[in-house]
Amino acid sequence: MNRQWMEFTENIKRLYKKDFVALHEPTFNGHEVNYVTDCINTGWVSSVGSYVTRFEEGLADFVGVKRAVAVVNGTAALHIALKIVGVEANDEVLIPSLTFIATANAVSYLQAIPHFVEVDEKTLGINTIKLESYLREIAELHQGDLYNKQTKRRIKALVPMHTFGHPCMMDELVAICDKFKLVLVEDAAESLGSYYKGKHTGTFGKVSAMSFNGNKIITTGGGGAILTDDEKLADYAKHLTTTAKVPHRWEFVHDEIGFNYRMPNINAALGCAQLEKLPKFIEQKRDLAKFYQKVIMNIEGVELLKEPAYAQSNYWLQTIMLDERYKRDELLDFLNENGVMSRPIWKPMHELEMFTECPKMDLTVTERLEQSIINITSTPVGVK
């Protein structure tokens, strides 16, 4: 690698004042210790406690939805979100192939079939033009449901994923769902603090799912949430994730197969403290994107993935895109060996062994992007 890339790594290490900089570390500089200690001192550490309610209410208020149901992780959130909107065994669910494995796994947990669709090379979200053309070709409406003419299966839902916090083209996706009678379920795992035309992501579909894993913009250790404006769906989600136990002072009666998915109070205590710092984290991440733009502007053949013109992104993971002169893995080796932890984007879902037989549209862009995308250090930090 040339001198410019060595300067790139040195600039990052100077910014973070470290000889080795992790990809994304949690930042605990608020009331986390106090709130967690309170859980321990009072004994309320499991799935019942005031911090769970407080976190749910604070999250719902920040995003702008009526209800948030806190669960153990983002995968569980998406699993339940799909279940409560009626995804059933043998249904097909449209998802991008360029996504984290959780999106495809959540579909599979319901014995439904992931149906992989193409992304846009500028936003990394679902390519709406190609998707609509594809559905016109391979699907047909019958008695209010969309069916795949090739497989004869119902296509029930569409799950856009806001990749690295950059919002998808939601107006177009909502229109597609209306036209083809699909349920819209947003995978907003990465986009807390991101807005599409001034409206927070995760508020366009019937339900959405968020993640608070250790590397997310805020963390509860492990954790996720189901978001919705539908009170009945929220109540059902809470019931299902509490093992479907019928409320009673002492009896254990469960009225259907449920899931032990509720977020523990001690994790929610972390989340409450993190929510208090969220505006600052977003500000720092957006400043970090400006820093990277200046650092890489003179390096040929590379560009920073920027927020779309219609959106405001949280820049959860800073992302660089390489042109054909680069071999992705050679640059990854260089960056990691020189103290800047970096990683490639996920292997496309349709290339994983368990999903190779799933239906898919032409995924040429997805396959090309896999070889050109690198995530770089993204921990919130004071740049100014």
Other residues' Cβ atoms within 10 Å of the Cβ of residue 17: 8
Kindly state whether residue 370 falls inside one of the protein's structural domains. no
Kindly state whether residue 174 falls inside one of the protein's structural domains. yes
Phi, psi of 95, rounded to the nearest 5 degrees: -140, 155
Residue 1 predicted with pLDDT over 80: no
Q: Per 3-state DSSP, what percentage of the chain is helix, strand, and coil (rounded to 5)? A: 40, 20, 40
CA atoms of 120 and 168, how far apart (whole Å): 9
Kindly state whether residue 366 falls inside one of the protein's structural domains. no
Beta bridge partners of residue 95, listed in sequence order = 116
Q: Which pLDDT score, from 0 to 100, does residue 203 have? A: 98
Tell me if 135 sits within 8 A of 92, measured CB to CB: no
CA atoms of 281 and 193, how far apart (whole Å): 9
Kindly state whether residue 368 falls inside one of the protein's structural domains. no
Kindly state whether residue 72 falls inside one of the protein's structural domains. yes
Nearest to 70 by CA among 286, 274, 354, 248: 274
Tell me if 317 sits within 8 A of 165, measured CB to CB: yes
For residues 289-312, average pLDDT? 94
Kindly state whether residue 282 falls inside one of the protein's structural domains. no
- pLDDT tens for 275-295 read 999 999 999 999 999 999 999
For residues 159-164, average pLDDT? 98
Strands laid side by side in the 343-344 sheet: 302-304, 318-322, 373-376, 343-344
CA atoms of 114 and 118, how far apart (whole Å): 13
Kindly state whether residue 237 falls inside one of the protein's structural domains. yes
For residues 147-158, average pLDDT? 98
* Torsion on CA atoms 10, 14, 19, 24, rounded to nearest 10: -100
Using the 8-state DSSP alphabet, how is residue 46 labeled? S
| Domain at 191, CATH number | 3.40.640.10
Q: How many domains does the chain have?
A: 1
The predicted model scores a pTM of: 0.96
Domain that holds residue 112: 32-275
Kindly state whether residue 322 falls inside one of the protein's structural domains. no
